[in-house]
Amino acid sequence: MSEGLTFDAFEKEWLEDIIAGSPNTMELGRRFSRKLISQWLDFTEDVELPDDIIYCDGTGDGGIDIACLQHGDDAEDNSNGGDTWFLVQSKYGSAFSGVKTILEEGQKLIDTIDGKRNNLSSLAAGLVERLQIFRKQASEKDKLVLVYAVQRPITEDEKRAINDVRAMGKNRLGAIFDTDVVSLETIYRRTLDEITHVKKNCVSITAHLVPSGEEMLVGSVGLTQLFEFLKNYKAATGDLDMLYEKNVRKFLGNRRKVNKGIENTLLTKPERFGLYNNGITIVVEEFQKLPNNIEYELTEPFVVNGCQTTKTIWEVLYRKLEAGGTGKNAELEAWKRSLGKGIVVIKIVKVGIKGNELLTETTRYTNSQNAVSEKDFIALESDFQKWSRNMALKYNVFLEIQRGGWDSQKAFQKQNPDSIQFSDCINAFDLLKVYGAAWLGEAGIAFGKNPPFAPGGSLFHKIVKQEDFGLDDLYAAFQLHKAGGRFKFGRGAEKQQRGQTRHLFYMLTVELLKDCFIAAERQATNKNITKAILKLFLPENEAVLNALLEYAISIADDYLTVGHEYSVFKEPKFSEKGNDLNSFLKWEQLGKSNDSTPLLNNLIAQYKIALKGGIGGQPKFRDMIKNIILTTNTDE
């Protein structure tokens, strides 16, 4: 897809909707930061806003344009161990003047968090109060990260200035403070399908290795040397997470026993680490031995086995070795001596520029220990890549696997007008949420949480582990997603009731459809629902489809109308949950039973009766949909 795509072309395409309409400087910065951070942190900025994403930009923002709280969720395998506040300083275009901006804005933000600034907006003041409570109860697992969001990669002088801000922040706010940088190039590099047309990442590693054939090195690397490799990689790419882009899952945090064991060994017996740990596997495009015999240059390295090991080493050693201070501590010095004796078993595999098959096999077979189950391989290395290709071939829809991929594709299409030209795009993660809300009836969780739908999450596996789940299910979810957009659900809703009911609308549509399955005496299995939706969205069934959608819309609108007989505001549980509409609509029991939402269930029942029709000459839409179901190849 993106072979030959330059950063300049990607940047031009990415910025098109930022500069559209010639907005003023403040609006330009706002659009830039929101798009960049939503892609970097992987939330859907244009659909609905998570509770823990706070936009403060404007007068009295205290130097915080966007704040994002990422929780460590013990209920999900793919969650990190601690909580992290990302505090974003966005500097687009001329708003960024290098070192001066970094130092001034960094000090401004630190002053704000430290309670030294009083001229804050009410929104910023509320955020600062949360941050101060966070600091009081933060553990060593938690972080407070100042993120500079800029257009182009920063210079060496600017990196030093950021290091100065980090030191200042740690001195005033404590060890939980850190800094990071995200630029448009960060998104660009994450979205490339091939690596042949971009500058290669070459990072050296000091290790004791011997060749095993022409494609593999095996041996050991010291814990401190591995930490240096990780630091060098982050310095070279600006993004440590890129090291795991070929892995089957993200870092799981310290919740799992295997990770707690890794951390405990590092803290108590680092000299025995090599005895207790299975080691790591790194795949590279090329490796080359350097003259000093124990240093190797790795071209485009990726950790495919040992994500948990390397990230835990990073977290522990970063806390212990990068805390600052010029004095000596006897306990820490003793630990460092033991650390210097610790090693990690390492295997480096050369897969070449286009070694996808070898890469996939290496990833799968090196992750076959008990700590990694087969379900961890479903998403990134296999099914979603296949579904992305087939979605393009069968439906001419670009299935975006990573945030920013659509901008890259559009830029590529402009550079290559003879290539396939997509007009429709959908993000795979968004489709999983549509499917979860509609097919599984989890509208509250879909609206309120991301982790259950991410690889490793409970609903992710409930969806993709179905024996017959596949491309058609994703396309049916895509059609339902488009319908939600057509009727202006979500952010930017023209009707106030629809701003928070996008996922409720998905659930209601399928709930009404299930009643038609009862009339047709057919089982409303997930696969049968998919088949019925695909048939309903055919042009010849437009009138019947629109009737079904309009009834679902009416339920959602009525439910959020103040004063309506079956309004959400009259639900018994609504007052029990603090009269917070946003929280109530994210409740996992939304629509589940008469005990949780009796008024919603009654409202659905009323519209099921209306769908039958026949009264006063009304069309019998349920019978029409029943006939469509009966002509669909459904399971008995």
How confident is the model over 123-146, as pLDDT tens digits? 888 888 999 999 999 888 888 999
Phi, psi of 143 (to 5 degrees): -140, 155
Which single residue is written with the structure tokens 């890469």? 359
pLDDT for res 379: 38
Tell me whether residue 195 is in a domain: no
Quick one: average pLDDT of 224-240?
A: 88
Task: Give the strand order in the sheet containing 202-206.
Answer: 202-206, 295-299, 286-289
Quick one: average pLDDT of 188-211?
A: 72
pLDDT for res 483: 94
Highest mean pLDDT pick, 45-59, 275-289, 306-320, 505-519: 505-519
User: Dmax over Cα atoms in the chain, in whole Å?
Assistant: 90
**C-alpha angle 583/587/590, rounded to 5°?**
125
pLDDT for res 341: 95
Q: What share of the chain is helix, strand, coil (3-state, %, to 5)?
A: 55, 15, 35
Q: How far apart are CA 150 and CA 476, in angstroms?
A: 38
Bridging pattern class, strands 302-305 and 295-299: unpaired
pLDDT for res 636: 54
3-state secondary structure labels for all residues of 37-85? HHHHHCCCCCCCCCCCEEECCCCCCCCCCEEEEECCCCCCCCCCCCCEE
Residue bearing the bigger pLDDT, 169 or 577: 169
Q: How far apart are CA 483 and CA 487, in angstroms?
A: 6
Tell me whether residue 194 is in a domain: no
Residue bearing the bigger pLDDT, 285 or 476: 476
pLDDT for res 192: 61
Last residue of a domain, one of 130, 156, 189: 189
- In Å, what is the CA distance from 77 to each residue of 257, 259, 434, 524? 11, 12, 21, 30
pLDDT for res 42: 64
pLDDT for res 362: 46
Strands (E) in 174-279, as ranges, are: 177-183, 202-206, 208-211, 216-222
Reading the block at residue 98, the tokens are: 């290098």
pLDDT for res 511: 97
Tell me whether residue 407 is in a domain: no
How confident is the model over 567-584, as pLDDT tens digits? 999 999 998 888 889 889
What confidence category does residue 614 fall into, taking pLDDT thresholds of 50, 70 and 90?
low
Residue 440 shares a structural domain with residue 562: yes
pLDDT for res 81: 60
pLDDT for res 370: 35
Residue 215 shares a structural domain with residue 111: no
Q: Dihedral angle at the C-alpha atoms of 330, 331, 336, 339, nearest 10 degrees?
A: 150
Evaluated on CA atoms 153, 157, 159, 164, the torsion sign reads: negative
Residue 171 shares a structural domain with residue 27: yes
How confident is the model over 66-102, as pLDDT tens digits? 888 887 654 444 444 678 899 998 888 777 788 998 9
Mean pLDDT across the chain: 83
Which single residue is written with the structure tokens 């017959």? 468
Tell me whether residue 159 is in a domain: yes
pLDDT for res 196: 40
Residue 172 shares a structural domain with residue 233: no
Q: Which of 318, 322, 317, 324 has its CA nearest to residue 339?
A: 317
Long-range contacts of the stretch 274-277 (C-beta < 8 A, 24+): 274/220, 274/342, 274/343, 274/344, 274/345, 277/309, 277/344, 277/345
How confident is the model over 329-385, as pLDDT tens digits? 889 999 999 999 999 999 998 876 544 544 444 444 444 333 333 333 333 446 787
Residue 340 shares a structural domain with residue 475: no
Tell me whether residue 387 is in a domain: no
Residue bearing the bigger pLDDT, 626 or 327: 626
556-593: string of b/e by CB count within 10 Å (b at 16+)? bbbbbeeeeebbbbebebbeeeeeeeeebbbbeebbbe
pLDDT for res 82: 78
Last residue of a domain, one of 164, 189, 214: 189
pLDDT for res 598: 96
Residue 182 shares a structural domain with residue 39: yes
pLDDT for res 364: 44
Bridging pattern class, strands 302-305 and 216-222: unpaired
Residue 183 shares a structural domain with residue 211: no
Domain residues for the domain of 619 are: 423-630
Residue bearing the bigger pLDDT, 458 or 536: 536
Q: How far apart are CA 607 and CA 598, in angstroms?
A: 14
Strands (E) in 423-464, as ranges, are: 424-427
How confident is the model over 30-63, as pLDDT tens digits? 888 888 887 777 665 444 445 567 888 778 888 8
pLDDT for res 419: 80
Residue 148 shares a structural domain with residue 209: no
Tell me whether residue 388 is in a domain: no
**Which residues, in sequence order, are bridge partners of residue 179?**
146
Residue 451 shares a structural domain with residue 361: no
Residue bearing the bigger pLDDT, 175 or 616: 175
Residue 177 shares a structural domain with residue 217: no
Quick one: average pLDDT of 250-275?
A: 71
The domain tally of the chain equals: 3
pLDDT for res 73: 53
How confident is the model over 441-456, as pLDDT tens digits? 999 999 988 778 877 7
Residue 368 shares a structural domain with residue 475: no
pLDDT for res 276: 86
Highest mean pLDDT pick, 213-222, 370-379, 544-553: 544-553
Tell me whether residue 224 is in a domain: yes
Which single residue is written with the structure tokens 């990726």? 302
Residue 125 shares a structural domain with residue 181: yes
Reading the block at residue 573, the tokens are: 């549980």
Quick one: average pLDDT of 301-321?
A: 87
What confidence category does residue 248 fall into, taking pLDDT thresholds of 50, 70 and 90?
very low
490 torsion bin: left (phi>0), alpha (psi -120 to 50), beta (else) = left
Under a CB-based contact definition with an 8 Å cutoff, are residues 544 and 513 in contact?
no
Q: How far apart are CA 479 and CA 152, in angstroms?
A: 37
pLDDT for res 43: 61
Q: Kind and range of the H or E element at 319?
A: helix 307-321
Quick one: average pLDDT of 288-313?
A: 86
Q: In the chain, pLDDT over 90 holds for what percent of residues?
A: 41
pLDDT for res 367: 44
pLDDT for res 404: 64
Last residue of a domain, one of 189, 208, 224: 189
Tell me whether residue 1 is in a domain: no
What confidence category does residue 151 fall into, taking pLDDT thresholds of 50, 70 and 90?
confident
